[in-house]
């Protein structure tokens, strides 16, 4: 549990250190942040100074529902006709309000083809309405010259017009107010407001209404107040509040006007349509009535039903008469047949039949009387009796007369019968035609009724349409008329200043952050710790001095104190180990290994040790040059010569007692081979015997392999890493040396750190100068 707690505490400390390092990475460039905030604040101030404020103009509009209208509304009038049926859709009304044509008509009726500006010292101020010193009435403008600008210079009742011609030259012409001006780009009239100029120059900017309508449509906001209401909020932002109020008011006015025009147009078109239809229906109805009249005349009709009844009664009467005549004919035929039979020669003829002819009845009665007379005579006398024969003769004559009479009667009956049949057939024919006549007449009457009903219907709808036309009301009602806010909506000063401050902070922050991302050089200790676990024994700040030797006796500067701290750390890291020979190397030339070697040797010498610094950088020697000692004899001379001894190479450093130096000598053609010479071991052994510490200034291991040849002879290795100079990729060399133990007891020194208040160890504020005040000393001690 204890170990776990300690581990968590260590993690929290490391995270806190990370945050501090990140902050300090940016705070070291505090002057960039100050300059950026100051610059952005100036830009914001200039923006607020020269930007025209814009005011929000807003009004609310109620969109009415057609269904809530009067009973003779457009919906009710044309619903039965199934034409012109419409309904208010809120989204459709919003699109109508946002239409370019409506906005263009609005701007045209407000005469906004021009914008008037009064020239000012800081910015040109737009004026409108009664505030405008002039009014410009545009008659015609060339579309290619739209968005042109002219300047008016007033001189009493006259003014000068300054503009740019087609060739880009400035032209000036004189005119009088109210005079029609004709130029190549258009025709317009300028009317002045007396006394409004007072040495002010007026700028007139001409607009293309289509483009201007598009611009206003982009800033026009139309939205519903809530989902359950048909109330719209209409707003826009404009530098001139009065102009914005006029635009919204005119927009609503024209919207209602177009709505009424649309309704009236529908009603007018409907009335026109009905009138045209009534004209044709009147003609059609007259034609149908004429057809009825002509049809009745052709068929001799007045009332089909009553005449059909008469036809039926007449036909029945004729049929009855024909039946009676048929009976009489049959009776006559029966009498005729009866008389013609031989057996019935002396029989009575029936006389009770329905024969109404008196002649026949007389003959039959006389015949029957003679039969009676004959029968009486035969009872008294014989058939041969002359009297009986006379009676027989009479009977024969009467029989002949009866037959002739029957024949005549039959002829008369037949003629009468034929006439009756002809009349009966005529009536039957008329009866058979009655359904066809009735059906045809019904069809004609149906057409007459349909057209008559349609005629009456259209007459009714025409009156309703005329009533609707006379009582048309708009689709909307203004709830709140357009008003402008007292305070401008843009630019917002606090917001602009806040944005300027944020940008002032963000710009350098972003630059530093991006540069840190793409920076491939070591910038802080964390860059080193991410790659290698090689121990770091200290950080060396930039001394700001041009001389190399910064550690001298009685020197209490911060950098001198840091070298003393490094000396202490070096002693702790090699405690209990032999540490007489120390090699100093780096990744590349220029990282400060010679500077570090000299001052580390000075620090050790000031502690009472006898120290020698050996320049083993045979390729690019700098040690003796930095110490101001002439490099006549050195390591190269010693290796290639058998006559020189070590004491011939040693040079005392005057500024620091007990500090000596050996130069590298002349640059050899084969430094790598010389470093592998046995005399190198002999040189280091002799120096190790005579001196307490031997510090070797070696070549950079990141460029040449010479230093690795010294590995068997040294006790510890100090690798110099310079901030903003050493590449991060070169840290892999440090890790390779440490991990694979290519050099004994490797350690790292961070060189050229900035005065950033952080560092390895205790910071370089611990050792303060003798001339510091008590307050400064306390502050440094606390740091």
CA 108/CA 189 separation, integer angstroms: 16
Residue 390 CA, chain-centre distance (Å), reads 141
CA 615/CA 636 separation, integer angstroms: 10
Phi, psi dihedral angles at 81 (to 5 degrees):
-80, -20
Residue-wise pLDDT tens digits, 639-657? 898 888 888 889 999 899 9
The pLDDT, as a whole number, for residue 613 is: 94
DSSP string spanning 528-558? HHTT----EEEEEE----S-S----TT---H
**In the CATH hierarchy, which top-level class contains the domain 525-782?**
alpha beta
The pLDDT, as a whole number, for residue 106 is: 92
Residue 683 CA, chain-centre distance (Å), reads 83
Instruction: For strands 651-652 and 659-662, give the pairing.
Output: antiparallel
CA 546/CA 541 separation, integer angstroms: 14
Residue 391 CA, chain-centre distance (Å), reads 138
CA 275/CA 572 separation, integer angstroms: 118
Blockwise average pLDDT, block size 10, the chain, 783 residues: 41 52 76 91 88 89 65 46 53 89 90 84 80 82 66 79 77 84 82 64 85 90 87 91 91 87 75 78 76 67 56 59 66 70 67 64 74 75 76 75 74 71 61 57 66 78 73 78 87 88 90 81 81 88 79 82 88 80 91 90 91 90 87 86 88 91 90 87 91 92 86 92 88 89 91 58 36 39 34
DSSP three-state, residue 189: strand
Q: Match 């950088």 to its residue by tokens.
A: 617
Radius of gyration (C-alpha) of the chain in whole angstroms: 69
Q: CA-CA distances (angstroms) from residue 689 to 143, 207, 637, 684, 685?
A: 101, 97, 21, 9, 6
The full set of domain ranges for the chain reads 2-51+493-518, 55-265, 304-452, 525-782
Q: CA-CA distances (angstroms) from residue 464 to 70, 76, 87?
A: 12, 9, 19
DSSP three-state, residue 158: strand
Contacts 24+ apart (CB under 8 A), 81-86: 81/270, 81/461, 83/270, 84/266, 84/269, 84/270
Per the CB < 8 A criterion, the answer to whether 110 and 250 are in contact is yes
CA 216/CA 200 separation, integer angstroms: 29
CA 87/CA 84 separation, integer angstroms: 10
Q: Is 189 exposed, middle or buried (0-12, 13-18, 19+ CB in 10 A)?
A: middle
CA 445/CA 434 separation, integer angstroms: 16
CA 192/CA 194 separation, integer angstroms: 6
Q: How many CB atoms lie within 10 A of CB 752?
A: 19
Tokens of 109: 């009726």
DSSP three-state, residue 477: strand
Per the CB < 8 A criterion, the answer to whether 584 and 600 are in contact is yes
Per the CB < 8 A criterion, the answer to whether 734 and 705 are in contact is no
Helix axes 30-50, 493-518, angle to 10 degrees: 140
H or E element that contains 200: none
Per the CB < 8 A criterion, the answer to whether 615 and 662 are in contact is yes
Per the CB < 8 A criterion, the answer to whether 91 and 222 are in contact is no
Vertex 447 angle, CA 444 and 449, to 5°? 110
Residue-wise pLDDT tens digits, 354-412? 566 677 777 777 777 777 777 777 777 777 778 777 777 777 777 777 777 777 776 77
The pLDDT, as a whole number, for residue 604 is: 92
Q: CA-CA distances (angstroms) from residue 71 to 75, 83, 99, 217, 307?
A: 9, 17, 31, 37, 50
CA 663/CA 624 separation, integer angstroms: 6
């Amino acid at each position: 549990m204890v170990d776990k707690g300690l581990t968590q505490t260590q993690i929290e400390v490391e995270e806190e250190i990370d945050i501090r390092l990140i902050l300090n990475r940016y705070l070291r460039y505090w002057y960039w942040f100050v300059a950026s905030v100051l610059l952005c604040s100036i830009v914001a101030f200039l923006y607020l100074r020269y930007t025209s404020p814009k005011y929000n103009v807003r009004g609310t509009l109620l969109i009415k529902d057609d269904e809530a209208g009067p009973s003779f509304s457009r919906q009710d009038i044309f619903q039965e006709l199934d034409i012109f049926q419409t309904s208010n859709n809120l989204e459709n009304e919003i699109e109508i309000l946002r239409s370019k044509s409506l906005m263009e008509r609005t701007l045209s009726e407000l005469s906004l083809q021009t914008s008037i500006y009064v020239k000012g010292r800081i910015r040109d101020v737009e004026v409108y309405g009664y505030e405008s010193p002039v009014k410009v009435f545009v008659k015609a403008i060339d579309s290619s010259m739209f968005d042109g600008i002219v300047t008016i210079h007033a001189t009493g009742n006259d003014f000068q017009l300054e503009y740019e011609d087609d060739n880009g030259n400035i032209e000036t012409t004189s005119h009088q107010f109210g005079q029609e001006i004709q130029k190549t780009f258009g025709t317009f009239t300028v009317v002045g407001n007396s006394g409004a100029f007072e040495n002010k120059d007026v700028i007139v900017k001409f607009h293309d209404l289509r483009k201007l309508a598009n611009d206003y449509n982009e800033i026009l906001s139309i939205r519903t107040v809530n989902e359950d209401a048909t109330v719209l909020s209409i707003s826009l932002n404009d530098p001139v509040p009065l102009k914005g109020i006029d635009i919204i008011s005119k927009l609503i006015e024209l919207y209602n006007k177009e709505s009424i025009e649309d309704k009236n147009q529908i009603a007018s078109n409907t009335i026109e349509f009905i009138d045209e239809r009534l004209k044709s229906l009147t003609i059609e109805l007259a034609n149908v009535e004429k057809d009825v009249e002509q049809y009745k005349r052709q068929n001799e009709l007045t009332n089909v039903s009553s005449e059909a009844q008469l036809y039926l009664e007449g036909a029945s009467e004729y049929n009855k008469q024909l039946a009676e005549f048929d009976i009489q004919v049959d009776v006559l035929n029966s009498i005729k047949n009866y008389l013609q039979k031989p057996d019935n020669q002396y029989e009575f003829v029936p006389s009770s039949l329905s024969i109404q002819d008196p002649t026949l009845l007389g003959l039959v009665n006389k015949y029957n009387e003679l039969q009676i007379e004959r029968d009486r005579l035969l009872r008294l006398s014989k058939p041969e009796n002359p009297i009986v024969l006379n009676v027989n003769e009479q009977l024969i004559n009467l029989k002949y007369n009866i037959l002739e009479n029957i024949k005549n009667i039959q002829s008369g009956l037949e003629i009468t019968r034929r006439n009756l049949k002809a009349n009966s057939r005529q009536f039957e024919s008329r009866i058979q035609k009655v359904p066809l006549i009735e059906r045809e007449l019904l069809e004609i009457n149906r057409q007459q009724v349909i057209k008559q009903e349609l005629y009456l219907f259209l007459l009714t709808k025409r009156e309703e349409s005329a009533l609707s036309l006379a009582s048309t009301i708009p689709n909307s009602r203004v709830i709140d008329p357009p008003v402008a806010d007292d305070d401008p909506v843009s630019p917002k000063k606090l917001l602009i200043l806040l944005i300027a401050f944020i940008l002032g902070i963000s710009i350098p922050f972003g630059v530093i952050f991006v540069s840190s991302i793409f920076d491939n050089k070591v910038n802080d200790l964390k860059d080193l710790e991410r790659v290698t676990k090689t121990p770091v024994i200290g950080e060396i700040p930039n001394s700001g001095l041009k001389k190399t030797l910064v550690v001298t006796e009685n020197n209490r500067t911060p950098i001198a104190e840091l070298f003393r701290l490094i000396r202490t750390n070096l002693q702790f890291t090699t405690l209990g180990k032999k540490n007489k020979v120390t090699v100093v190397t780096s990744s590349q030339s220029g990282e400060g290994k010679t500077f570090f070697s000299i001052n580390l040797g000075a620090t050790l010498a000031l502690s009472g040790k006898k120290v020698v610094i050996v320049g083993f950088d045979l390729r690019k020697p700098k040690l003796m040059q930095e110490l101001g000692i002439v490099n006549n004899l050195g390591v190269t001379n010693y290796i290639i010569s058998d006559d020189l001894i070590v004491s011939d190479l040693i040079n005392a450093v005057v500024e620091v007692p007990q500090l000596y130096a050996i130069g590298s000598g002349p640059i050899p053609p084969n430094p790598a081979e010389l470093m592998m010479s046995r005399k190198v071991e002999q040189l280091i052994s002799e120096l190790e015997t005579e001196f307490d510490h031997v510090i070797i200034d070696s070549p950079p291991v990141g460029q040449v392999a010479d230093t690795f040849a010294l590995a068997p002879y040294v006790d510890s290795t100090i690798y110099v890493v310079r901030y903003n100079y050493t590449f991060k990729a070169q840290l892999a060399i440090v890790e390779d040396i440490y991990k694979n133990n290519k050099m004994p007891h490797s350690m790292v020194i961070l060189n050229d750190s900035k005065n950033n208040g952080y560092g390895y160890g205790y910071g370089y504020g611990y050792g303060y100068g003798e001339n510091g005040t008590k307050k400064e000393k306390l502050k440094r001690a606390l740091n």
